[in-house]
Amino acid sequence: MAETIIENLKILSENFKHKFDTFTNSVILVNEMNKIKVQPEDEANFRITYNLRFNEKTILIPKEAVYHFCLDLFKRQNDSIEVIYSIVKPIDIDECFKIEKEEFLNIINVIKKELNYNYRLKHLFLESSRFEITYFNSLLIVEDKKKEYYSNVFNFRKI
């Protein structure tokens, strides 16, 4: 599970113009503003260290919140912004379908149609009334506009 999260973070980092270096049990994601280190701590948690102005901040994040926390770091406007961890539930595909039913199914079908037309499709941004959905390099990034759920990342081929 930790390896999958690390691999998906590497793909996500490309979407936000970050480079990455992989080590035995961690990854460092870097751009001109961010330096983020993500490593598994135990079965349930990840240790994330990121730059905060001229210092570093380390925080222990449950594995279900790693994508959400890293997406917030990728989107920071400057390195003095501290990302706050809050306790909510991660969104899953079943919940997306429960909340939006037809609208979410239509989005999935649009992505499939685009992939059938262009199998090399790398990036596609779609939006529903509740979610911001990004397809990037076979990953589906789902972000809740109401912030009631953690953002989550799914392998599109497994949906």
- Could you tell me which residue, 140 or 81, shows the higher pLDDT? 140
CB atoms within 10 A of CB 59: 15
Q: Tell me what pLDDT residue 54 has.
A: 87
Question: Is residue 43 pLDDT above 90, yes or no?
Answer: yes
Q: Whole-model pTM?
A: 0.85
Question: Is residue 119 pLDDT above 90, yes or no?
Answer: no
CB atoms within 10 A of CB 23: 10
**Contact status, residue 18 vs residue 34, Cβ threshold 8 Å:** yes
The predicted-structure confidence for 1-29, as pLDDT tens digits, reads as follows 789 999 999 999 999 999 999 988 899 99
Helix count (H) and strand count (E) of the chain?
Answer: 4, 11
For strands 123-127 and 89-90, give the pairing: unpaired
